[in-house]
Amino acid sequence: MGGRITASAELSARLSDPEIISGTVEPAQAELESYLEGKCEDAGYGDTLEDCIDALDANDAGGYTNAFTDVVSTSPVTDRSSALAAYRARMTYGFTQTGTTGQAARVPEGGEDLLVTAFPTLTDAQRRSVLASAEIDSGYPLDSSSLGWQRIDLAAALSAKVVLDVHGTVVDVVTGQDETSVVVRTPNGKERPYTGGHASSSHSHGRTTANRVR
């Protein structure tokens, strides 16, 4: 638990630097995707990563096959839902809540940077709302002293469909999706993809990232 908390805080500190994103993270992502696409094409699974993932069912049962169980994670991982359940079980390792439960969501300063690559079109405030919607309850060990890091369910947040209203407010976060997405829900209930900028328009104003380096 302490290791996860520390790792999350350290990772967010690095992802808060736009130069690390553009100079290290994005080139590494492009290199890895190119390598995997080449391997997929050689194996006959398609010439794009999306085709390969679909062919191998890697976003569902084909990518989640871990029969290991123990007293903490009691069910084998067989699909996305069970994988998320296993992750959440290991967030608390079976400890009971000894602190105050049901407290308001608490997102640590800089926590939003953990989602900067998954949701590049969202603002810091919107990404904080995603983390708040996906976090676990208060009161578990290390919660009161971790400034909110203990509650972050990163696996859930990184599998979310984020719904905005026309003013850009996060109104719904649906976790457990095959891929991340952001949509705008209009007053008549229809949804359309969100590309950035003002939710009431379709014009993108690019990425918004934190400029601080901790």
Structure tokens at 129: 């709302």
Residue 164 has a CB neighbour count (10 Å cut-off) of 21
Judge whether 175 and 188 are in contact, CB under 8 Å.
no
pLDDT tens, position by position, 5-55: 999 999 999 999 999 999 999 999 999 999 999 999 999 999 999 999 999
Residues with Cβ within 8 Å of residue 96, at least 6 apart in sequence: none
Q: Find the mean pLDDT for residues 78-102.
A: 96
> Which residues, including other chains, have CB under 8 Å from residue 14's CB and lie 6 or more apart?
20
- pLDDT tens sequence across 56-68: 998 888 888 899 9
181-185 vs 161-164, strand pairing mode:
parallel
Q: What is the pTM (predicted TM-score) of this model?
A: 0.88
CA 42 to chain centre: 31
